[in-house]
Structure 1
Amino acid sequence: MPTDAATDHADSEQQLEKVRTLLLGKENSRITKSIQKDARSLVADVITEALHDRQKKDNSVNKVLQPFVEESVKQSVAHNSEQLVSSLYPLVGSLVRKSVAAFLSDFMEKTNQLLENSLTIKGLKWRFKARQSGVSYAQYAASQTFVYRVEHVFLIHRETGLLLNTVALEHESKSNADIVSAMLTAINDFVGDSFLSDQEGQKEQLQSVSTDNFNLLIKPGPSALVVAAVSGNPPQSISNQLQLTLENIHSLYFDELNRFNGDNKDFNSADNLLRDCLLSEQKEIVAKQKKTPWLAWLIVFLVVIYVGYQSFNWFKSAQLHEKIMQLDSQPGIIIKQLKIKQLDDITLDVLRDPDALNIHDWLKDNALNPAQLTITERNYHSLDQQILQQRAQRIVSAYPNISASWKNHSLMLTGTIDLIKTEQLRNTLAIAGFTEGENLNTEQLNLASNTPSSTHKEIKQQLFEQLVGRIASIQLNFSVASENITPQMQSSLQRLYLYIQQLTPIAKELNIDFGLLILGSSDNTGNKSTNNILSMKRANNTAEILQRKGIAKDRMYVVGLGQIDIKNISSTARSVMFNVIYNSHN
């Protein structure tokens, strides 16, 4: 049964509760309303100091506010980009310059480390050791460079084993992190199921997994695990930081951990907490251990020598190419191909006229060694004016009584020569590129009176036919409605007169009678009867000129053909043509 003291205490409590209700109201409503009424001013007075004290205590304010600030900035950029750009514009230039300077400094430092570690004996040993260990060179180099370094940090839900978040020093795909989380959970479950603690029903929890150069440190909490992948020998400070980070996560994400249903988006803002665990300590490098990368400098030296040698060869080859190509400007020489593989391996393919200068002599005159060149030389017939003059001089020099001169790019032959040699000279010059009436003038050649009469009859017959052909090839072309003989026609008629002179003694020796047929014609424009008269006048005017030169009138027969109605030439058939008609008495 309750004692009197207990009864009195219960009565006192009831009376005290009634007094509290009278003073404070039901469920403390009076004091609650008063606090709510002045809550804004009360909080405003202490919020700054409270945030300062909390940040000073465990640095949790930055970690909590940073995700909200980032999200606010992201929304501000999305909706008010112009205002934000205007506000930040004065700072951008300075930030960019500092960023570029920092990048260049970091780049030079890393390049220097790469040269020192990669192109040295130590670097080569590291590469060999990394291949033996089955790890990348970067990982092995990091293990040798740092006393320890936290490479990855994982946040794993303890109950489900799902990955909540992860951070890494270098880019790492999310799929790889999920695989590590699943494997770690499986190993932890295996250990927990296989080895029971002293208290029945409680599983053992892995604290670390170690290899020769790699360690996994595991810090378990009530709802989550923080796991750090560390290269090298991790000190106690890493374990302490993992514990501190785990406590902060449980404190800040208590509700999220308790209601976790597989969606880890609520833990995206935990990056900053996890990055606090990415600790490292670089090995101290003693000054005397720093070695000059002789291998690197040797390679650089060899590369410089090789580049210099190739540049020198290229420069000399370009000079040599330019010098040899000057040969192409020489008359009668065309360079088809020039290849310079080495300074002593040169291939030259040229076309050369026989009367052009000697290539070997030109090379020697220009301080070039012909032995350096493999020359392929093929003949061709050049029509260069200088070559034509040299060729004509060479041909005419075989005839002592003949001299050659040039007038308006035409070869003028003078002297006395017999008929046989005249034909030989003409044929040789024709093969050499000289055409009578174009670039050859033989009007000043005189026929020798002592032409051998013992010349074989067949040769004389050939000469006769050649002269007949040359006479038939001469044609006088007139302008529209013109019958006048121009100076150019006079030159052609003089040539025809010389042919008749040469033909007369040969015909006499062959017992051949011949006559000259002169045919005048006109085009098909204008009146037909007028054209017939015009064609006859053209033929008569031509015959008069030849008669004045010395051809007997009874040797010429003049015909006016009238207008010529032949397709494609009927409108240009204003001409006088010649033909030799003859009769042999043999």
Structure 2
Amino acid sequence: MPTDTTAEHAESEQQLEQIRSLILGQENRRITECIKKDARNIVADVITEALHDRQKKDNSVNKVLQPFVEDSVKNSVAHNSEQMVSSLYPLVGSLVRKSVAAFLSDFMEKTNQLLENSLTIKGLKWRFEARRSGVSYAQYAASQTFAYRVEHVFLIHRETGLLLNTIALDDKDNSDADIVSAMLTAINDFVGDSFSPSHEGQKEQLQSVSTDNFNLLIKPGPSALVVAAVIGNPPQRINDQLQLTLENIHSLYHDELNNFDGDNQYFSASDSLLRDCLLSEEKTETNSKKKRPWFAWAIVVIISIYAGYQSFNWLKSSQLHEKIMLLDAQPGVIVKQLNIANLNDISLDVLRDPDALDIADWLKSNGVDTTQLKLIERNFHSFDRQILQLRAQRIIKNFPSVNLAWQDDVLSLVGTLGITETEQLITNLTIAGFTQDQNLLTEQLQQTTPVSLTTSEQVKQALFDDLIGRIASIQLNFAIASEDITPEMQLSLQRLFQYIQQLEQLADALNINFGLLIMGSSDSTGNKATNDILSMKRANNSADILRDKGLDRSKMYVLGLGQIDIVGISSTARTVMFNVIYINHE
């Protein structure tokens, strides 16, 4: 370690102080006090010239003042941001435009270079060589692209070997800088101890460490070392800059280096000095003609065309979706699901009343190509007013002697029919959704003379039994572990409610009291106690829907059957079933 140099420097300072004391003697204190009294005027007269001369000599004024200016700007931004914005506002627009233009130009150049180095034979060769050499592709590519480039600069205290400061290109992570510093110091000590002649006072100092693509340049000073990590072949220019930086650091941080106690925070302002050492030079192209970023432009054009094509498809798909969804507003038609994967892959799932318009014809009339459309059409019973009118007209066509008319949404029949034909007409209209119940949501059926509504008890009983059979045939099938009522179940419950309304009229005429039995069940999978609860919830949910539609809860009896242990259906018995219990009072 350079302890002799430090001792010599201290001895020189002591001798200078002794000479000063001999010359000035007792007048030393007085002279010092006189100078202090007039120091402000003396410094004020020469500070400008002194700063100019020192800056001209070694550029150290900028390097010393830069950290203070940066701290002042940060403090001003933090506490007086509005004043800073007002001052900088006239420059921002121009700076942003120039910055964006420079960024785009640099981006295109780098993108083109990246594509050339990645998608060409040269790029593949570089990857192979990087893997073979055990270095990263980015590091190897840099060694091939640059004649030289300084990646890191380290400032190390010579006596202790501790890292004082470090600067990396593009502000890379410096988490391993302390390790590099310690290892470099250990190697340097090993070289000095192993290869220095025993009779010499000074140890050998390591000047460089080299590999195939990497070099460490070491510039030693009396109190510190400056080490540069260089890719490529470093020229003399880097050595000169390292020497100049080392001299400036010793000049500016003389006291801090001599009195170093392990705290490197005093050297944080040396960034600007070390950053001057981050030199680089790209390899010159043999072809003087500047390369144009054709690869980058080709990629940009392809991406633009693809984005335009996708945008066009999205716009056409959106327009087509809006056009097809107009079908949902047509009477007797419900669009359940519409999927448009692309213009050639369209699926449409609809519910359609038999008396509603033809779906395919409507699509063609609205300019929709049905050859690329998969149509799934399911029947349902609509209660839309227009559909009811069409349905009534269709039924009445089979009875030429009866005319129909609408008065305030009430269907009126006028004509002459026999008992059998009247029963048949009433039955058809009842099944179609027309009843004499005043609580019907949409329509009512009124009978005007001379059509007779009197029927035999046998016909009424037959109709009653038929409705009981229809109700018993309705069954709600649930998904595994589900108790939710789906839209399809809603339709089944709506049909069940209509049958109950018709049944009430016939029950009054036949003097019959009846009730609806609602039975929920579950499959054999899972826990039995859980399945019992689940079956009861399914039945209760169905009863709640019927109650909301107007069915008296006192006429319903809800039962949870739990698991249905019947061979062949036990694994799928996730249902709600219905049955009518009645008593004839005759």
TM over 0.5: yes
Distance 1:70 1:312 in 2: 51
Q: What whole-Å deviation, never above 9, does each CA across 1:446-502 have from its counterpart, x for those lacking one?
A: 67xxxxxxxxxxx965259899xxxxxxxxxxxxxxxxxxxxxxxxxxxxxxxxxxx
Displacement, 1:58? 2.9
| Corresponding residue number in structure 2 for 1:488 | none
Structure 1 residues 137, 30: closer, same or farther in 2, change over 3 A?
same
Task: Show the 5 A alignment for 1:46-445.
Answer: 48-64=48-64, 73=72, 91-94=87-90, 96-97=92-93, 100-101=96-97, 103-121=99-117, 125-126=122-123, 129=126, 131-132=130-131, 133-197=133-197, 200=200, 202-285=202-285, 288-436=288-436, 439-445=444-450
Displacement, 1:117? 1.0
Q: Secondary structure at the match of 1:427?
A: helix
> Which amino acid is the alignment partner of residue 129 of structure 1?
W
Q: Which runs of 4+ in 1 moved over 6 A?
A: 68-71, 464-467
Displacement, 1:181? 0.9
Distance 2:408 2:457 in 1: 35
| Corresponding residue number in structure 2 for 1:500 | none
Structure 1 residues 47, 445: closer, same or farther in 2, change over 3 A?
closer
Q: TM-score, normalised by structure 2?
A: 0.63
Q: Secondary structure at the match of 2:324?
A: helix
Displacement, 1:347? 2.4
> Which amino acid is the alignment partner of residue 392 of structure 1?
A
Contact 1:119-1:293 within 8 A present in 2 as well: no
Contact 2:153-2:278 within 8 A present in 1 as well: yes
Displacement, 1:228? 1.5
Contact 2:112-2:295 within 8 A present in 1 as well: no
Displacement, 1:115? 1.6
Structure 1 residues 93, 389: closer, same or farther in 2, change over 3 A?
closer
Distance 2:292 2:253 in 1: 53
| Corresponding residue number in structure 2 for 1:571 | none
Structure 1 residues 419, 107: closer, same or farther in 2, change over 3 A?
same
Q: What whole-Å deviation, never above 9, does each CA across 1:280-336 have from its counterpart, x for those lacking one?
A: 334445665544444433433333333233223322322322232232233222222
Distance 1:66 1:437 in 2: 94
Structure 1 stretch 170-179 or stretch 120-129: which is displaced more?
A: 120-129
Displacement, 1:121? 5.0
Displacement, 1:106? 4.0
> Which amino acid is the alignment partner of residue 418 of structure 2?
D
Contact 2:108-2:296 within 8 A present in 1 as well: no
Displacement, 1:61? 4.2
Distance 2:278 2:256 in 1: 24
Contact 1:147-1:232 within 8 A present in 2 as well: yes
> Which amino acid is the alignment partner of residue 92 of structure 1?
L
Structure 1 residues 137, 93: closer, same or farther in 2, change over 3 A?
farther
Aligned match of 2:458 in 442, 462, 476? 462
Q: Secondary structure at the match of 2:176?
A: helix
Structure 1 residues 256, 300: closer, same or farther in 2, change over 3 A?
closer
Contact 1:117-1:123 within 8 A present in 2 as well: no
> Which amino acid is the alignment partner of residue 312 of structure 2?
F
Structure 1 residues 386, 51: closer, same or farther in 2, change over 3 A?
closer
Displacement, 1:176? 1.8
Structure 1 residues 264, 426: closer, same or farther in 2, change over 3 A?
closer
Structure 1 stretch 331-340 or stretch 53-62: which is displaced more?
A: 53-62
Q: What whole-Å deviation, never above 9, does each CA across 1:508-543 have from its counterpart, x for those lacking one?
A: xxxxxxxxxxxxxxxxxxxxxxxxxxxxxxxxxxxx
Displacement, 1:62? 4.2
| Corresponding residue number in structure 1 for 2:579 | none
> Which amino acid is the alignment partner of residue 447 of structure 2?
T
Q: Secondary structure at the match of 1:346?
A: strand
Distance 1:170 1:182 in 2: 23
Distance 2:144 2:194 in 1: 36
Displacement, 1:242? 1.8
> Which amino acid is the alignment partner of residue 397 of structure 2?
S
Distance 2:47 2:457 in 1: 136
Distance 2:343 2:429 in 1: 43
Displacement, 1:46? 5.1
> Which amino acid is the alignment partner of residue 112 of structure 1?
M
Distance 1:66 1:324 in 2: 68
Structure 1 residues 102, 193: closer, same or farther in 2, change over 3 A?
farther
| Corresponding residue number in structure 2 for 1:526 | none
Contact 1:127-1:137 within 8 A present in 2 as well: no
Displacement, 1:111? 0.8
Q: How many residues align?
A: 432
Displacement, 1:182? 0.8
Q: What whole-Å deviation, never above 9, does each CA across 1:389-430 have from its counterpart, x for those lacking one?
A: 222222222223333333333333333332222222222222
Structure 1 residues 419, 366: closer, same or farther in 2, change over 3 A?
same
Q: Secondary structure at the match of 1:155?
A: strand
RMSD of aligned residue pairs (Cα, Å): 4.0
> Which amino acid is the alignment partner of residue 119 of structure 1?
L
Structure 1 residues 441, 317: closer, same or farther in 2, change over 3 A?
same
Displacement, 1:251? 3.5
Q: What whole-Å deviation, never above 9, does each CA across 1:160-183 have from its counterpart, x for those lacking one?
A: 212222223332445422111111
Structure 1: runs of 5+ lacking an equivalent: 1-23, 448-458, 468-567, 569-582
Distance 1:379 1:319 in 2: 27
Q: TM-score, normalised by structure 1?
A: 0.63
Distance 2:349 2:103 in 1: 53
> Which amino acid is the alignment partner of residue 113 of structure 2?
N
Distance 1:32 1:99 in 2: 57
Displacement, 1:185? 1.0
Question: Percentage identity across aligned positions?
Answer: 58
Contact 2:422-2:451 within 8 A present in 1 as well: no
In terms of Rg, which structure is larger? 1
Distance 1:55 1:304 in 2: 52
Structure 1 stretch 302-311 or stretch 59-68: which is displaced more?
A: 59-68
Distance 2:426 2:23 in 1: 146
Task: Show the 5 A alignment for 1:483-494.
Answer: none
Distance 1:262 1:380 in 2: 87
Displacement, 1:26? 8.7
| Corresponding residue number in structure 1 for 2:536 | none
> Which amino acid is the alignment partner of residue 450 of structure 2?
L
